[in-house]
Structure 1
Amino acid sequence: MANPTRWATETGPGHSQWYIDRFRKLAADGADLAGEARLVDATVPPGSRILDAGCGTGRVGAALAARGHRVVGVDADPALVEAARADHPGPRWLVGDLAELDLAAAGEPEPFDAAVVAGNVMAFVAPGTEQAVLSRIAAHLRPDGVVLVGFGTDRGYRIEDFDADAVAARLRPEHRFATWDLRPWRDDADFAVSVLRKPAR
């Protein structure tokens, strides 16, 4: 990994385990953890191949797999990937830097129909790698593939910079919402869910 992620540099010792424990408790309490997955599922055909980029503990990818999709998840934090493997067998969970993503080298050469980038991943990648992350994700999509990205707009990554990075990564913006359940976008919203598409040609 060329540059440490903000997840590694801006959180304290024990943060990863706290995050794992938090989502295990939410799941045990019956919390709805599949909102992002429902939106992704609505945008793709049944049985699609989906990249969970920045998969964390695997909750989004697991929900998509439960809906019949073929999921590969990637995260830079080995502790989160280990939790995903333990809690959600079925999808393939891999440790990797999204800015250097090369899934063919990991035995996953088939392109993806869609990618989901949830959980503020874009705000936690290494500073200055945001465009590279989007470019590497786009490189793993089939033509006309879709990317759904959600992050807090108050976390240091401006929505204007995201839009510029997406265009530089050759991803075409299609829709923007203020939440994963499709509340209307406003310029003063503190969260953005963007739907991007890789051109068919």
Structure 2
Amino acid sequence: MSTLLTLLDAFDDGTQARSLREHTYRALGDTVVDVGCGSGRAVGELAARGARAIGVDADHDMIEVAIERWPASEFHVGDATALPLDDGSVTGYRADKLLHDLPEPELAVIEARRVLAANGRAVLIGQDWDSYAIDSDDPELTRALLRARADGVPQRWVARGYRNLLLDNGFTDVTVEVRTIVWTDATCLPMLANIGGEGAWLDDQTARARDNRLFLAIPFIVASGTRAG
């Protein structure tokens, strides 16, 4: 869990990631569930905006971290496909970097519809695992590393299907967009280490960061829809 937490913190601390999160908070209303909440940052930020924010995550350790970091917020250990919430009890549903880890992502979207009130809004956020762009002295090795990392993700292409998942499960006014986050400094090295591991490839990326020559770009797909009344 510590490795995952390090990765999440490295990503979430960035200015572009913060801007992306804030963009996803729009139109979620006054009672929001953040599913797959991790360390609880979005829950804390939503609460600071005046919403009743509820965090749910299947990882007990992550929920403990979230409670420690955001003691005034509400967190539950729970399954994305069986949320500990009543029917129609929230005005907003948010799932960020979650559906690619689920065996059946559609079940989470069906559950989102259940817990949302009529005209409530759902937003799904996720990276496109096959579209990472990294500058490297060894592009063939980089391609192989990226492919291996993507192949280790249960649902690596699910973000491309977010729009259809919403349309097929009772959502209207569905919108979809792509927002790309770009790194050119050492803040992304934990993510690059997760892709390439220790060795010459990561050493090259570390040297690029030191020399101001690093480039990593990750496209994030953001889809949202309104629960049909």
Normalising by structure 1, what TM-score?
0.72
Partner of 1:49: 31
2:99 aligned with 1:122, yes or no? yes
SS in structure 2 at match of 1:179:
strand
% identity of equivalent residues = 18
> 1:21–1:161: structure 2 CA closer, same or farther, 3 Å change rule?
closer
Query: What amino acid is the match of 2:2?
Result: Q
Partner of 2:226: 197
Cα RMSD for the two superposed structures:
2.6
Query: What amino acid is the match of 1:153?
Result: D
Q: 1:139 aligns with which of 105, 108, 114?
A: 114
Gapped runs of 5+ residues in structure 1? 1-15, 182-188
Normalising by structure 2, what TM-score?
0.64
**1:65-95 deviations in whole A, cap 9, x for unaligned?**
1111111111111111111011111221111
1:36/1:180 contact within 8 Å kept: no
2:33/2:93 contact within 8 Å kept: yes
2:88/2:118 contact within 8 Å kept: no
Larger Rg belongs to: 2
Q: 1:85 aligns with which of 67, 80, 86?
A: 67
Gapped runs of 5+ residues in structure 2? 130-149, 151-155, 182-217
| Aligned residue pair count | 167
1:113/1:142 contact within 8 Å kept: yes
2:180/2:219 contact within 8 Å kept: no
Q: Which protein, 1 or 2, shows the higher relative CO under an 8 Å CA cutoff with sep ≥ 6?
A: 2
Partner of 1:113: 91
1:145/1:197 contact within 8 Å kept: yes
1 or 2, which has the higher helix percentage? 2
